[in-house]
């Protein structure tokens, strides 16, 4: 018997009403799942909930959208609508998994979400849940992730040794059943995970070259090696993403630009390795390669956009047009903007399009993160938002929304000092909610 998704995919590709799945059971099951998820939220510590607000809202809206979409399909079956629903449901599943990963990362016994997932699966299995197979899956997934990291060029010796020991402990865990031996190994893995995370260091920030320059002037070689390796790992991951992208897109021009980008990844990898091996190396070559990489990535994204396709700026995965978030890494996709007009807050979006002020803000912020515009231009955009707010007539009905916008603009000013795509997403989503009400009232 076909699953709900398999039956709906069959209907979407060959619209035979006999292929329609059982919507009633699906909707009932999704409602129960939604209720269970909300019940789990209610039991979480308040401080944990505060750190999950962004992804929690995304998942909650995903449940609502999926329930509404399934109801509409059950009442008026349509192959085109079925395709839209399938994309929506896949995105919701990705967001739900990302939410759970964040819970594991924030609440588990180690700083590593994948290791915490193993602990959760083991405890569930020991408590009587049917999670033994899932437990093995979690171990294998983390073992492969570590193997991939070890194969990334440039890993510092101590970090390499720690990663290798952690992988060996996971392989040993695969060979034993639950009980005292497993629990002893899990205790050892917990200690190793803390050390591995400590050596791994923080995520690579968008203004990574400035941080690299600071590290080169310090005497802490361990932190420098860990930071460079994180960048090498990021390049390796992007290179794999571009490889997969080129296999999916049949275009000689995209292929040519993609290969050019792959060559720049290799040049940057070589330059970073040389930086570690030769004291007193200059960052000039690395800066030049970084500029070329940014241009090549923009060229590839532009060509894909012209063909009606998108690639995620963060992980290079192919993203269908119209999707708000990348299905692979949940990054909020930035919209393209053609005209850089000065728009007031009364400019309401047309149809389902985004507010034009936010479209412009997202575009110029992305350019700032990519180094295409300077700090002065970004601060001018912050100033423009202050002027927009000052021009809104006083209205008691909108006091709360305008205060939220003012607070978000101040956070945007602070963001200029430490720009990151993740924190930009949170600021933009807060502004989007407040602007929806402000623009509606202005139109009235």
Cα 175 to its chain centre, rounded Å, is 34
Lowest-pLDDT range, 106-115, 141-150, 187-196, 423-432?
Answer: 423-432
Separation CA 26–CA 34 (nearest Å): 12
Same structural domain for residues 46 and 86? yes
Same structural domain for residues 80 and 141? no
| In-domain check, residue 287 | yes
| In-domain check, residue 317 | no
| In-domain check, residue 158 | yes
| In-domain check, residue 327 | no
Give the per-residue pLDDT at 337.
Answer: 40
**Mean pLDDT value of segment 72-94:** 83
| In-domain check, residue 328 | no
Select from 144, 174, 200 the last residue of a domain.
200
**Mean pLDDT value of segment 242-266:** 81
pLDDT value at 178 more than 80: no
For 159-176, write each residue's pLDDT tens digit.
788 889 999 999 998 888
pTM above 0.75, yes or no: no
pLDDT value at 139 more than 60: yes
**Confidence category of residue 341, pLDDT binned at 50, 70, 90:** very low
Select from 77, 107, 137 the last residue of a domain.
107
Same structural domain for residues 341 and 420? yes
pLDDT value at 329 more than 60: no
pLDDT value at 82 more than 70: yes
Give the per-residue pLDDT at 302.
Answer: 67
Select from 158, 181, 200 the last residue of a domain.
200
Same structural domain for residues 193 and 224? no
- Count how many domains the chain has: 4
User: Which residue range forms the structural domain that includes residue 299?
Assistant: 208-311
- Which residue has better confidence, 361 or 251? 361
Give the per-residue pLDDT at 387.
Answer: 79
pLDDT value at 73 more than 70: yes
Same structural domain for residues 435 and 338? yes
**Mean pLDDT value of segment 211-224:** 78
Identify which of 1-10, 100-109, 136-145 has the greatest average pLDDT.
136-145
Same structural domain for residues 93 and 13? yes
pLDDT value at 444 more than 50: no
Give the per-residue pLDDT at 322.
Answer: 58
Same structural domain for residues 34 and 97? yes
Same structural domain for residues 140 and 160? yes
| In-domain check, residue 320 | no
Give the per-residue pLDDT at 323.
Answer: 61
Average pLDDT, the chain: 77
| In-domain check, residue 326 | no
Same structural domain for residues 195 and 214? no
| In-domain check, residue 324 | no
For 5-16, write each residue's pLDDT tens digit.
778 888 887 766
Same structural domain for residues 360 and 376? yes
Same structural domain for residues 188 and 283? no
Same structural domain for residues 55 and 75? yes
For 355-403, write each residue's pLDDT tens digit.
677 777 877 887 777 667 778 888 888 888 887 777 766 666 667 777 8
């Amino acid at each position: 018997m076909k699953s709900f998704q398999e039956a709906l995919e069959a209907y979407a590709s060959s619209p035979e009403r006999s292929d329609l799945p059982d919507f009633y059971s699906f909707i009932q099951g999704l409602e129960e799942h939604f209720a269970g998820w909300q019940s789990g939220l209610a039991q979480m510590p308040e401080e944990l909930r505060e750190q999950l607000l962004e992804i929690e809202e995304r998942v909650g809206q995903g449940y609502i959208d999926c329930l509404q979409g399934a109801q509409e399909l059950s009442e008026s079956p349509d192959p085109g609508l079925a395709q839209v629903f399938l994309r929506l449901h896949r995105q919701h599943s990705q967001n739900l998994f990302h939410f759970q990963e964040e819970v594991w990362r924030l609440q588990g016994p180690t700083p590593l979400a994948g290791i915490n997932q193993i602990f959760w699966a083991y405890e569930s299995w020991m408590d009587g849940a049917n999670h033994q197979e899932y437990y093995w899956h979690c171990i294998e997934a983390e073992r492969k992730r570590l193997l991939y990291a070890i194969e990334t060029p440039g890993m510092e010796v101590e970090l390499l040794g720690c990663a290798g020991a952690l992988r060996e402990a996971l392989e040993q865990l695969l060979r034993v059943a639950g009980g005292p031996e497993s629990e002893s190994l899990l205790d050892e893995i917990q200690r190793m995970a803390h050390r591995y995370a400590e050596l791994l260091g923080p995520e690579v920030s968008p203004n990574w070259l400035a941080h690299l320059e600071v590290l080169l002037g310090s005497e802490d070689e361990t932190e420098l090696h860990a930071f460079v390796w994180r960048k090498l790992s990021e390049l390796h991951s992007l290179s794999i993403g571009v490889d997969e992208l080129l296999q999916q897109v049949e275009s000689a021009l995209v292929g040519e630009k993609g290969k050019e980008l792959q060559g720049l990844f290799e040049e940057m990898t070589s330059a970073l390795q040389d930086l570690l091996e030769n004291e007193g190396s200059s960052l000039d070559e690395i800066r030049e390669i970084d500029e070329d990489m940014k241009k090549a990535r923009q060229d590839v994204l532009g060509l894909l956009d012209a063909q009606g396709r998108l690639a995620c700026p963060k992980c290079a995965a192919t993203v269908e047009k119209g999707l708000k978030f990348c299905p692979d890494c949940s990054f909020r996709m930035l919209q393209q903007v053609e005209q850089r007009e000065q728009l007031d807050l009364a400019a309401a979006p047309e149809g389902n399009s985004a507010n034009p002020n936010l479209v412009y803000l997202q575009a110029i912020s992305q350019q700032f993160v990519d180094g295409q515009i300077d700090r002065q231009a970004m601060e001018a955009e912050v100033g423009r938002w202050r002027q927009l707010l000052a021009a809104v007539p006083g209205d008691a009905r909108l006091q709360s929304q305008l205060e939220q916008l003012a607070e978000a603009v101040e956070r945007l000013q602070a963001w200029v000092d430490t720009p990151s795509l993740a924190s930009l997403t949170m600021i933009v989503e807060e502004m989007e909610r407040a602007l929806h009400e402000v623009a509606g009232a202005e139109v009235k």
